[in-house]
Chains A and B, each alone.
Chain A
């Protein structure tokens, strides 16, 4: 019984810790968009061609946070 309670505790703590990955993704996405804006304001003529790259950068930065979220979901509902 004790071990079960400890396992449950660990599960919830682990799920919460996995969600800190989302914070990193937030920082990453903010950095990508901030840098894009900095470049775009310096040279607005070249900005439009780089929107595809912008979205790609956002996607790659966000994916890692999503992995963390997935781990949290797996811990909560699958383990």
Chain B
């Protein structure tokens, strides 16, 4: 996209790294308005993520063989990994949150990785989507914490281990850091995804601009794509483990 417009630009190099994140309706006028029920490219890719996850987990586990096939062992590995993470952070008590954490992890992992396919749309690159995921976690922590611990939930902010004089100051800091959580939780994921894709797009614009020397940014892009695969997996892991830690705060507020 950037290459076709490079000739039109006054400077010869006209990069539009953010165009790939545009949400467009799939049917009808591409520049028309977006309603509540408009089917957009974001909707399409979310559905594809759902289909890919279902294909792996439902059809992969259909055989239930004692000696797993290749696809079954991938599904089992994913399950075991998240299960281990949940019990490591929250203990056996947290096992009832395992389905929630697993859903979050698999959805984010698949949308990050599917978004790396050229011309694909990365669902998690939009703060609107990661923001909802993070707000649900935030609300769950508050509701669960108050339901399980009542007023003792406020011990999260009033730290008994600290000297009395320091406690009000610490309470303010803890309060701020608590309410900034949904913001940092969502922006971390969306920002990482957006930054990686924007950088790839900028490098892609260098390739046609440098003619024969374009092989250099091309090689760089291959390396960057490898890094992006790593980032996609790590960010899904981080989102899931932070959810575990926040939920652990709700279960055991006394530190």
Chain A partners chain B: yes
Interface residues of A (CB under 8 A from B): 52, 55-56, 58-59, 62-63, 66-67, 69-70, 73, 76-77
Of A52, A62, A73, A77, the contact of B188 (CB 8 Å cutoff): A62
Report yes or no: A52 in contact with B85, Cβ–Cβ below 8 A.
Answer: yes
With A73-B18, A77-B18 as known contacts, state yes or no: A66 contacts B242, CB within 8 Å. Answer: no
Report yes or no: A56 in contact with B242, Cβ–Cβ below 8 A.
Answer: yes
Interface flag for B225 (CB, 8 Å): no
Cα distance, A62 to B235, chains bound together (Å): 11
Report yes or no: A70 in contact with B187, Cβ–Cβ below 8 A.
Answer: yes
Cα distance, A73 to B125, chains bound together (Å): 13
Instruction: Report the nearest A residue to B188, measured CB to CB.
Output: A63
The B51-108 residues at the A interface (CB cut-off 8 A) are 85, 88-89
Interface residues of B (CB under 8 A from A): 18, 85, 88-89, 184, 187-188, 191-192, 194-195, 198, 234, 237-238, 241-242, 245
Cα distance, A59 to B195, chains bound together (Å): 15
Q: For A66, list chain B residues within 8 Å (CB).
A: 187-188, 191-192, 195
Q: Tell me, rounded to whole Å, the shortest Cβ–Cβ distance linking B88 to chain A.
A: 7
Cα distance, A63 to B180, chains bound together (Å): 12
Instruction: Report the nearest B residue to A52, measured CB to CB.
Output: B241
Q: Tell me, rounded to whole Å, the shortest Cβ–Cβ distance linking A46 to chain B.
A: 15
Cα distance, A56 to B16, chains bound together (Å): 33
Main secondary structure of the interface of A (DSSP, over half): helix
Q: For B184, list chain A residues within 8 Å (CB).
A: 63, 67
Q: Tell me, rounded to whole Å, the shortest Cβ–Cβ distance linking B91 to chain A.
A: 15
Cα distance, A69 to B198, chains bound together (Å): 11
Report yes or no: B188 in contact with A55, Cβ–Cβ below 8 A.
Answer: no
Q: For B242, list chain A residues within 8 Å (CB).
A: 56, 59
Cα distance, A58 to B89, chains bound together (Å): 18
Of B88, B191, B241, the contact of A70 (CB 8 Å cutoff): B191
Report yes or no: A55 in contact with B191, Cβ–Cβ below 8 A.
Answer: no
- For the complex of A and B, 7 pairs with smallest distance between CB atoms: A66-B191, A59-B238, A63-B188, A63-B184, A70-B191, A77-B18, A69-B195
Q: Tell me, rounded to whole Å, the shortest Cβ–Cβ distance linking B247 to chain A.
A: 15
Instruction: Report the nearest A residue to B239, measured CB to CB.
Output: A59
Q: For B18, list chain A residues within 8 Å (CB).
A: 73, 76-77
Q: Tell me, rounded to whole Å, the shortest Cβ–Cβ distance linking B80 to chain A.
A: 15
Report yes or no: B194 in contact with A55, Cβ–Cβ below 8 A.
Answer: no
Q: For B194, list chain A residues within 8 Å (CB).
A: 73
Q: For A62, list chain B residues within 8 Å (CB).
A: 188, 192
Cα distance, A59 to B242, chains bound together (Å): 10
Of A56, A76, A77, the contact of B241 (CB 8 Å cutoff): A56
Report yes or no: A69 in contact with B191, Cβ–Cβ below 8 A.
Answer: yes
Report yes or no: B238 in contact with A55, Cβ–Cβ below 8 A.
Answer: yes
Q: For A58, list chain B residues within 8 Å (CB).
A: 234
With A52-B241, A73-B18, A77-B18 as known contacts, state yes or no: A59 contacts B191, CB within 8 Å. Answer: no
Q: For A73, list chain B residues within 8 Å (CB).
A: 18, 194, 198
